[in-house]
Amino acid sequence: MFRFVRPCICVLAFAVCCLLGGCGRSVEPGSDVRQVQNLHELLQQTVLPEVASSGAPRSLSSYMGKAGLLVMFVDVHCPVAAEAMQDVPKVTPILADLKVPTVMINLDDAVTEVQRHYAENIFGVPVLYDTTTGTKNQWGVESVPTLVYITADQRTGYNGVATWKDLAIAVEKHLKLAAGTINFAPKGTGFG
């Protein structure tokens, strides 16, 4: 009986999440969800606390690397975001070697939920959070997971679903690397 019940519960949780929060909305892989404009200002103005830090909130621009920044928008309830987060420890070291650090921004969840969910930060990247809809609205995030690769010159290199191959192509293009240089083992979700 449990073999049947567990998949049904997962499908039901996914459906409820999609109806309530836009989680896992299917988008053509690699397509832009919404172009982020005025990135320089937006990076400066997005000031959020970090789950693992007791220090003052920092601007997103302070996380920029020499070759850019990957911002991954997630939440604690979406099973598709959870699936994409499991790829983070496999994907982000490759980006870090290319001087592209990663931050995850948890959206819309209560502080206690966020702290409990990320208490052991198995992801190896800073996890920031916003309990309001401010960041989601400013960045035009319609669903999670959403990836935004910001180039070193603060332009949008990629804005879309958690499809790692499409992100790799965008990073290769902006870093002027040969096609196929970046090879992420995980495929991603194709949703966001």
Q: What is the pLDDT of residues 33-79, one digit of tens each?
A: 334 458 889 999 999 999 988 878 999 999 999 999 999 999 999 99
Sequence-distant (6+) residues with CB within 8 A of 66 are 99, 152
- Measured torsion, CA atoms of residues 61, 62, 67, 69, in degrees rounded to the nearest 10: -60
Q: Using CA atoms, how far apart are residues 107 and 85, in angstroms rounded to an integer?
A: 14
Radius of gyration of the chain, Cα coordinates, nearest whole angstrom: 16
The answer to whether 24 and 79 are in contact (CB under 8 A) is: yes
The pLDDT tens digits for 6-39 are 333 343 444 444 444 455 443 333 333 334 458 8
Whole-number average pLDDT of the chain: 83
Q: What is the pTM of this model?
A: 0.82
For residue 101, what pLDDT is reported?
Answer: 98
Highest-pLDDT range among 7-16, 86-95, 113-122: 86-95
Q: Which domains does the chain have, with CATH numbers?
A: 2-175 (3.40.30.10)
Among 77, 140, 161, 149, smallest CA distance to 114 is for 77
Among 88, 90, 63, 93, smallest CA distance to 145 is for 88
